[in-house]
Amino acid sequence: MKTAPRLLQNVKGSIPPADFYRAELPTMPPPRGGGWREGGLCPFHNDNHAGSFRVNLETGGFKCFACGAKGADVIAFIQLRDGLSFPEALRQLSDDWGV
């Protein structure tokens, strides 16, 4: 499957990481400001103690200090969480967010 550059641009440009993580991380505390924030419970391991998972609300980056899951943007988040290839993750984001 070939990745259309326009699809990548649309997804990257149209989904604010802050909105994305508010929707995807129900346990994330209400963020104040951008940059790296507490992300609530980590979706990548069986987390029952919030505090290890951080998200960057400007870049979409994420990092868990407990299990080591990390990525640079919301596409990487979807790839890792749902076990998708890069083009598949792009398509899913595009469908889910109507971009």
Q: Would you give the distance in Å from CA 67 to the centre of its chain?
A: 16
CB of 73 to Zn ion, least distance (A): 18
Query: Any residues with CB less than 8 A from the CB of 97 and at least 6 apart, and which?
Result: 11, 14, 15, 20
List the x/- string, 57-76, binding to Zn ion by CB under 5 A.
-------x-xx-x-------
The count of chain residues that interact with Zn ion, using the rule CB under 5 A, is: 7
Sign of CA dihedral 20, 22, 26, 32: positive
- Contact residue for Zn ion among 22, 45, 54, 70 (CB under 5 A): 45
Confirm if 7 and 94 have CB atoms less than 8 A apart.
yes
Q: At closest approach, how far in Å is the CB of 60 from Zn ion?
A: 17
- Using CB under 5 A, which of 42, 75, 78, 89 touches Zn ion? 42
Determine, following the binding rule CB under 5 A, whether residue 44 of this chain makes contact with Zn ion.
yes
Q: Specify the pairing of strand 36-38 against strand 53-56.
A: antiparallel
Residues near Zn ion, by CB under 5 A: 42, 44-45, 64, 66-67, 69
